[in-house]
Amino acid sequence: MITAAFTPEASYVDPMMSNAGHDGLDAMIGAVQQQFAGLRFKLHGKQDGHNDVVRFSWALAADGAEPVAIGTDIAVVAADGRISSVTGFLDAMNLPV
């Protein structure tokens, strides 16, 4: 799924992590899935884009629960339709202590 969605040199960066390339993105996604087991990312608010840039917001929560985090990501789409970079921003966090 990663090779279908991301270019080989794709990068991801947010205030908490960054990585690049298919192997790096795969490792990062796996770590997030382990850290937040049982939670799901869902679209939050309005998504939009122009030219080769897409902006969308998301919420991370268990089904039926309040989000533990809300963020906004900016993605650049390559000519082949795959994502070449993502820059993430954390808008709100409510992680349990």
pLDDT at 93: 87
CATH number given to 2-93: 3.10.450.50
Helix (H, G, I), strand (E, B) or coil at 52: coil
Sequence ranges of the domains in the chain: 2-93
Query: What's the pLDDT score for residue 21?
Result: 98
Mark out the alpha helices in 1-97 (DSSP H runs): 2-5, 21-35
Q: Report the C-alpha gap between 60 and 24 in whole angstroms.
A: 22
Q: State CA 54 to chain mean position distance.
A: 12
* Predicted TM-score (pTM) of this structure: 0.89
What is the identity of the amino acid at 65?
Answer: A
Across the chain, which has 97 residues, the per-10-residue mean pLDDT values are 97 96 97 94 95 97 94 98 97 74
Yes or no: say if 80 and 72 are a contact pair by the CB < 8 Å rule.
no
